[in-house]
Amino acid sequence: MTSENPVAARALASIDYDRLHTLVQEVCRIPSVLGEEGPLAAFLVDVMKSSGFEDVRQQDVLPDRPNAIGELSFGAGPRVVMTGHMDTKPVSHGWSKTAPFSGELIDGAIYGHGIMDMKAALVCQIVAIEALRDSGIPISGTLAMAAVSDHMGDQLGSIRYFEEYSADYCVLGELSDNEIFLGHRGRYYFDITVIGTSAHTCHKPLAVNANALAAHAILELDRSALLPDLETWVVDLFGGETYMAPGRVYGGLPPGGPSMIPDECVIRVDCRPQPGVTVDQVRAEIDRCLAAAQAREPRFRAEVELVDVKSGYLAKPGDPVVELMRESVRSVRGAEPPLQVAGWLGDTASFGDQVPTIIFGPGGEPVYCPDEHLSLEDLAEATQVYTTFGALALQKK
């Protein structure tokens, strides 16, 4: 592909596709399941050091789980951060075409566990930054790379990076099928502890089974359909309902334990609010559901605790970072890109309120499935868009 922008077109001509493919294969061969990001971080640091990046280092986050960071400076100007996470979920069962960490090229696609979420995007970003440097185009500012750890934990890698560094623009390489995502829903976790009365199973009449009480709450929570008052354009993107589900239940006694009717059952409620929906709004809906459960069963008692908050994120059409990415995709693809949003949670939950960010990356649903792969064409397009974005963001006026 060629860019409609002549300066960006010069940068695109400098993309090293052989290097892109080789590096993607290599990162796919390095396991980095959550908690084991260290080897991949060390590899990416070595890649950036050998390429001539500046300020390259493993940034401490958690023991043996650093970030891999580096940057290239082109003088005074905006600071653009390209970022993504290194950690993956555990390997799925059922791989048949190749091994999960083979990085094998089969019929024009590279196979590897976590390639879509989001090892390939990290490589695409590094190769794009290299192309911008190697092209010699007139740009001014800084291009920074932040491969972060702990995305699937508490997002401590992103938090740590943006505690130390600022940015004028950020591109998060989460999987978006190479489309522009303005943002994503948030995540609120509530733990509802349902309280009964314990007794030996032989004395059932004396007990109030907390598991049975919890069933009433589970039914009410499951049928919840919270429709908060939101701006029309937000509803058009995300839909009207704040999704809420009793996702996990911790009740009763472990296998091999004593014979006893339990007096406690904990329901973990997983809430996925649209940006703009507050914790208080969701809590009010949970309270309504619990009141309905008590109306069904007068013995119902429960305590509610908010145990985790990850905010949603939403850039607005017309924001400079959005328009830069629209122009980049339009320039590479030759067509006007749609603006979309995601249901999953991105690291922008932890830094999006600090840094204007747009989400764009190769790969899409389903993810974390057997035989996960990306085509060479998708990798190329993502790298071209990242390269164009950098050229446009840092072009000299």
Domain ranges of the chain: 6-184+312-394, 187-310
Q: How many CB atoms lie within 10 A of CB 114?
A: 27
Residue 397: pLDDT band (50, 70, 90) is confident
At 2-25, the pLDDT tens digits run 566 787 899 999 999 999 999 999
Taking only the tens place, the pLDDT of each residue in 175-201 is 999 999 999 999 999 999 999 999 999
Given this model, what pLDDT does residue 182 score?
Answer: 98
- Residues 328-341: pLDDT tens digits? 999 999 999 999 99
Each residue's pLDDT tens digit, 90-102 = 999 999 999 999 9
- Cα dist from 176 to 361, 362, 367, whole Å: 5, 6, 11
Structural element, H or E, at residue 48: helix 38-51
pLDDT at 365: 85
Sign, CA torsion 229/234/235/240: negative
What is the pTM (predicted TM-score) of this model? Answer: 0.93
Answer yes or no: CATH 1.10.3720.10 is held by domain 187-310.
no
Buried b (16+ CB within 10 A) or exposed e, 146-161: bbbbbbeeebbbbbbb
What pLDDT band is residue 256 in, cutting at 50, 70 and 90?
confident
The pLDDT, as a whole number, for residue 383 is 98
Contact 3, 109 (CB under 8 A): no
256 vs 317: which has the higher pLDDT = 317
pLDDT at 392: 97
At residue 232, does pLDDT exceed 80? yes
Handedness of CA 267, 281, 151, 365 (dihedral sign): positive
Mean pLDDT computed over 126-146: 97
pLDDT at 255 over 80: no
Share of the chain above pLDDT 90, in %: 93
pLDDT for position 1: 54
Q: What angle do CA 290, 295, 296 make, to 5 degrees?
A: 95
Residue 353: the pLDDT is 94
Q: Is residue 312 pLDDT above 60, yes or no?
A: yes
Query: Which are the contacts of 90, defined by CB distance < 8 A and separation ≥ 6?
Result: 33
β-strand pairing of 373-375 with 109-111: antiparallel
Show the CA angle centred on residue 234, arms to residues 229 and 236, nearest 5°.
Answer: 105
Nearest alpha carbon to residue 351 among 178, 177, 157: 157
- Structure confidence at residue 22 (pLDDT): 98
How far, CA to CA in Å, does 392 sit from each of 6, 107, 284, 333, 386? 11, 34, 45, 15, 10
CB-based burial of residue 19 (10 Å sphere; 0-12 exposed, 13-18 middle, 19+ buried)? middle
Query: Once rounded to an integer, what is the mean pLDDT over residues 220-239?
Result: 97
What is the pLDDT averaged over residues 75-89? 97
Tell me what pLDDT residue 2 has. Answer: 58
The answer to whether 6-184+312-394 and 187-310 have equal CATH topology is no
What is the residue-averaged pLDDT of the chain? 96
DSSP states of 310-349 as a string? Answer: E--EEPPTT-HHHHHHHHHHHHHHSSPPPEEEESSPPTHH
Q: Can you tell me the distance from the alpha carbon of 54 to that of 74, in angstroms, rounded to the nearest whole number?
A: 11
6-184+312-394 belongs to which CATH class? alpha beta
pLDDT at 104: 98
Tens-digit pLDDT profile for residues 288-302: 999 999 999 999 999
Task: Give the residue-averaged pLDDT of 195-210.
Answer: 95
- Do residues 120 and 174 touch, judged by C-beta distance below 8 A? no
User: Residue 235 phi/psi, 5° resolution?
Assistant: -65, -40
Pairing of strands 169-172, 357-359: parallel
